[in-house]
């Protein structure tokens, strides 16, 4: 029988078509050849050339998974483009995996450990991020529409028959607020339905959860067993890592219920503050408040419990999720009942506190030009954003320096409310605050005290490992989780501020003859616009700095190419300039990108802290009619608000182009595919993880081909697993899940590899130096050979050496500076593509194929 080897190619983020993966040339008529689908379906499939023979010594097969993230040009691309709007949730979810110090076995992680506390804080932050979206839509429905938009001239700008809110029973008391509350609840319903549909990814190929040890905290969990689980050396070896359907559904219930409770709390809290309840209203109000607080308390505790949030396959929702759902229903019913009851006798009628009607036509009416926004809404946004910043500081401090670093963030979170109470004279027995002392004079020092936790020395890991090579240390000094989550927070804040500004401008519509705004946006929106303008300016400076570095690196590379002592033609000098451009980009991304991002993040952190302190002052940056320096500040704030208003549209448009334009996809697809690679273990409402399906499918295919009997014509003696770019990460995750008996017949080819400079630095617990050596050790044969070859080019901006014990093979690119061998065109500069056509690749593949056919024994039957 002919000995055969299968080369299984896995593409990267660019969604390379199967015929290109297989290296099939175009037909004479110009049409692309149609490969043969041997396994899988229309979304994901394994393809071979239609001319492949049964006796070929090396059979090339392509695994196409790109339609999980960039499918055909269909109506579903619109849905995927809207997923791009959930990018803040994606970044917050990715932060969970950027924590250093995660133990190899997830079951050994304890809540009180450094990684355990960081995980709980990240999940709390994700819960608050859901609350940010909910409170924003609540502000639109309850504040802007139901509270401030009180006349027909304003309501006619809304789509639909909303004019009934300006007269009759609906305008009395707080009845309109009940209608406005329906908007955030409808948004949560749509978000929940969309998320629930995507949970099929996690249920695609479920794995049996491995036995778990008894819970040392004393919790009784019927799913636990006294049998000790097998030892793990990398968290990616956990068999339930890619099977989290049960966890997702439990977490989704917590997020959706918490969001509904926060939405109800905004109008309920405002009504209770304006009109303290008595009698029947008190009997409804206080039990409702108690139920709402209970739901939030349960969610805060539940997201930190390992038995509720750890991945365990198709686990049912459980008693806690059912209890939260029931309590949320009771709380919403009480909230609507309270809003629909008539005003109580304790306070002024609510109609007298709302903006008067007719302001759009005549702003001269008394009370029109004063801020009549919903009481307490502006302060709710300001305090939520401030404590989210403190939470981010806590995440970065704990992940970097352990529990001791929590002292700074905790001190800052306590000093801030005490400062406000001191200024308001609400601290008994304490002298009054000096006149002229503003809250920002106290808020900035409080935030600075909190930030001291980020400056403490980094706690080294339990087993200190030497870096794999240059520029492979942990990114951002161990603060990567906070930086990634903070990026998601900035984007979410920008979305929400832009949406509030856009709706305000739409409702106001410039109908006021005097040009004054009648519908007032929340005060933090104005400060967010000013911060956006400054942040864009800082981004431009960072890009200029990157351009200067790139120009300097290109000059160095050009000098190295042209100083070989031989005279070069003008053609060769031009080619040297082209090559030096790609080599400079390779060094810029691999050596300087992380540092540039960290520098910009530092500027953004200072800017965000100042913006939060300013928002707590309850003062506007500058009056509208100001001139000089205040006028410039006002113009910058308006410009920033305008940019924020267009941001969601721009991001959604880019997301649509990502799925339909190859150039845009190659540019931004790296960030998107890195984010959606990780399972949704922190934020259940993020876009689905394609790896939840790709990794189990690839594992099933490889194991199935190697398990065929010797008489089966489809049998393969070995597999060359060939991964490109992001496909390298998918292959590495699959190999760590594969049983050892199959790994002995596999050789791993990686090219365009990002396991060291990107994944290893940002996700050290999975691809750091010690964890990559685990992958190399699992691919080590009994004779001592490491069955892993990594190909890299000096012109590839996303591919570098690995140096984890495998064989690193440099690939010459281009092959020459001028045509040779009868060719008339210059050899192409392939940079990140075309590795399988390289001479070094073909030579290594022929050698490895002989080793797989001759040396590796077949596993015993059974």
> Does 548 score more than 60 pLDDT?
yes
Residue identified by tokens 């790994």 is: 743
Question: What distance lies between CA 87 and its chain's CA centroid?
Answer: 6
- pLDDT confidence of residue 4: 85
- Classified as helix, coil or strand, 40 is strand
pLDDT mean across residues, the chain: 83
- Classified as helix, coil or strand, 344 is coil
Query: How does pLDDT run across 673-688, given as a tens digit for each residue?
Result: 788 899 988 999 998 8
Give the whole-angstrom CA distance, residue 670 versus residue 589.
13
User: What residues contact residue 337 under an 8 Å CB cut-off, 6+ apart?
Assistant: 284, 288
User: Do 483 and 396 contact (CB within 8 A), yes or no?
Assistant: yes
User: Do 254 and 302 contact (CB within 8 A), yes or no?
Assistant: yes
Query: How does pLDDT run across 87-110, given as a tens digit for each residue?
Result: 899 999 999 999 998 988 887 888
The per-residue DSSP string of 481-514 comes to HHHHHHHHHHHHHHHHHHHHHHHHHHHHTT--TT
- pLDDT confidence of residue 656: 64
Mean predicted confidence (pLDDT) in 569-591:
92
> Does 486 score more than 90 pLDDT?
yes
Structure tokens at 253: 């219930």
Query: How does pLDDT run across 450-477, given as a tens digit for each residue?
Result: 999 899 888 876 555 667 777 888 999 9
- pLDDT confidence of residue 242: 85
Which runs of consecutive H residues, i.e. helices, occur in 797-861?
839-854
Give the whole-angstrom CA distance, residue 327 versus residue 458.
43
Pick the most confident of 147-161, 277-291, 634-648.
277-291
Question: What distance lies between CA 31 and its chain's CA centroid?
Answer: 39
Give the whole-angstrom CA distance, residue 145 versus residue 151.
10
Give the whole-angstrom CA distance, residue 493 versus residue 176.
27
Mean predicted confidence (pLDDT) in 763-782:
91
Query: How does pLDDT run across 614-665, given as a tens digit for each residue?
Result: 888 877 776 665 566 677 887 888 888 888 878 777 776 776 666 566 666 5
User: Do 718 and 745 contact (CB within 8 A), yes or no?
Assistant: yes
CA-closest candidate to residue 672, choices 650, 690, 660: 690
- pLDDT confidence of residue 513: 44
Mean predicted confidence (pLDDT) in 511-529:
70
Mean predicted confidence (pLDDT) in 23-47:
79
Give the whole-angstrom CA distance, residue 621 versus residue 629.
11
Query: How does pLDDT run across 232-273, given as a tens digit for each residue?
Result: 899 999 888 887 777 888 889 999 999 999 999 999 998 888
CA-closest candidate to residue 69, choices 675, 637, 857: 675
Higher per-residue confidence, 479 vs 645: 479
């Amino acid at each position: 029988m002919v000995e055969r080897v299968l080369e299984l190619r896995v593409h990267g983020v660019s969604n390379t078509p199967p015929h290109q993966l297989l290296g099939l040339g175009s037909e004479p008529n110009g049409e692309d050849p149609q490969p043969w689908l041997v396994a899988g379906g229309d979304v994901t499939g394994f393809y071979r050339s239609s001319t492949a023979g049964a006796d070929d010594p090396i059979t090339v097969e392509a695994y196409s998974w790109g339609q999980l993230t960039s499918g055909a040009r269909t109506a579903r691309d619109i849905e995927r483009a809207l997923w791009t709007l959930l990018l803040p949730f994606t970044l917050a979810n990715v932060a969970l995996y950027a924590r250093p110090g995660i133990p190899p076995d997830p079951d050994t992680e304890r809540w009180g450990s450094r990684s355990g506390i960081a995980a709980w804080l990240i999940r709390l932050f994700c819960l608050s991020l859901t609350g940010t979206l909910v409170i924003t839509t609540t502000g639109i429905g309850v504040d802007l529409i139901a509270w401030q938009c009180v006349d027909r001239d304003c309501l006619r700008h809304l789509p639909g028959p909303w004019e009934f809110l300006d007269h009759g029973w609906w305008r009395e008391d707080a009845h309109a607020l009940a209608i406005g509350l329906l908007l955030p609840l409808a948004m949560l319903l749509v978000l929940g339905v969309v998320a629930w549909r995507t949970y099929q990814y996690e249920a695609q190929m479920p794995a049996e959860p491995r036995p778990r040890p008894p819970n040392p905290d004393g919790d009784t969990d019927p799913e636990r067993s006294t049998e000790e689980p097998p030892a793990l050396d990398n968290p990616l070896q956990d068999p339930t890592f890619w099977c989290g359907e049960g966890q997702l559904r439990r977490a989704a219930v917590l997020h959706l219920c918490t969001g509904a409770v926060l939405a109800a709390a905004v109008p309920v809290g405002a009504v209770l503050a304006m009109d303290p309840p008595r009698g029947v209203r008190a009997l409804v109000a206080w039990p409702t408040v108690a139920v709402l607080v209970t739901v939030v308390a349960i969610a805060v505790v539940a997201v930190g419990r390992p038995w509720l949030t750890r991945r365990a396959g198709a686990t049912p929702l459980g008693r806690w999720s059912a209890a939260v759902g029931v309590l949320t229903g009771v709380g919403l019913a009480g909230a609507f009942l309270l809003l629909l009851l008539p005003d109580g006798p304790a306070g002024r009628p609510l109609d007298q506190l709302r903006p008067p009607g007719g302001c759009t036509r005549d702003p001269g009416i008394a009370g029109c030009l004063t801020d009549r926004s919903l009481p307490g809404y502006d302060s709710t946004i300001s305090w939520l954003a401030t404590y989210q910043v403190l939470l981010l500081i806590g995440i970065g401090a704990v992940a970097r320096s352990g529990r001791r670093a929590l002292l700074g963030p905790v001190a800052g979170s306590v000093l801030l409310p005490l400062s406000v109470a001191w200024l308001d004279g609400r601290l008994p027995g304490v002298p009054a605050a000096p006149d002229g002392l503003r809250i920002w004079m106290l808020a900035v020092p409080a935030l600075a005290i909190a930030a001291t936790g980020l400056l403490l020395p980094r706690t080294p890991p339990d087993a200190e490992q030497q870096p794999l090579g240059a520029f492979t240390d942990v990114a951002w000094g161990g603060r990567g989780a906070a930086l990634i989550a903070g990026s998601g927070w900035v984007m979410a804040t920008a979305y929400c501020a832009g949406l509030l500004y856009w709706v305000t401008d739409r409702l106001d519509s410039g109908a006021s003859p005097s040009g004054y705004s009648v519908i007032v946006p929340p005060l933090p929106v104005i400060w967010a616009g000013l911060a956006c303008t400054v942040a864009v300016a800082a981004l431009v400076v960072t890009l200029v700095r990157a351009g200067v570095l790139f120009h300097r690196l290109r000059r160095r590379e050009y000098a190295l190419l042209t100083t070989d002592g031989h005279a070069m033609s003008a053609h060769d000098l031009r080619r040297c300039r082209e090559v030096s451009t790609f080599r400079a980009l390779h060094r810029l991304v691999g050596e300087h990108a992380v540092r540039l991002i960290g520098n910009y993040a530092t500027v953004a952190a200072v800017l965000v802290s100042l913006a939060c302190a300013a928002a707590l002052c309850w003062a506007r940056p500058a009056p509208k009619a100001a001139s000089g320096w205040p006028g410039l500040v006002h113009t910058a704030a308006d410009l920033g608000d305008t940019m924020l208003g267009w941001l969601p549209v721009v991001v959604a448009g880019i997301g649509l182009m990502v799925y339909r334009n190859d150039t845009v996809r190659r540019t931004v697809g790296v960030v998107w595919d890195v984010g959606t690679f990780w399972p949704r273990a922190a934020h259940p409402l993020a876009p689905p993880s394609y790896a939840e399906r790709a990794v189990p499918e690839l594992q099933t295919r490889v194991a199935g081909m190697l398990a065929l009997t010797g008489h089966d014509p489809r049998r393969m003696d070995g597999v060359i697993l060939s991964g490109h770019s992001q496909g390298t990460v998918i292959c590495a995750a699959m190999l760590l899940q594969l049983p050892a008996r199959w790994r002995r017949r596999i050789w791993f080819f990686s090219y365009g590899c990002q396991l060291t400079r990107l994944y290893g630095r940002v996700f050290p617990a999975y691809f750091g130096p010690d964890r990559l050596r685990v992958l190399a050790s699992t691919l080590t044969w009994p004779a001592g050979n490491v069955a892993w070859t990594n190909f890299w080019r000096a012109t590839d901006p996303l591919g570098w050496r690995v140096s984890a014990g495998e064989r690193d093979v440099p690939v010459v690119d281009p092959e020459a500076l001028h045509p040779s061998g009868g060719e008339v065109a210059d050899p192409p500069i392939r940079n990140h593509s075309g590795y399988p056509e390289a001479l070094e690749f073909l030579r290594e593949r022929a050698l490895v194929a002989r080793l797989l056919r001759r040396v590796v024994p077949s596993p015993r039957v059974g």
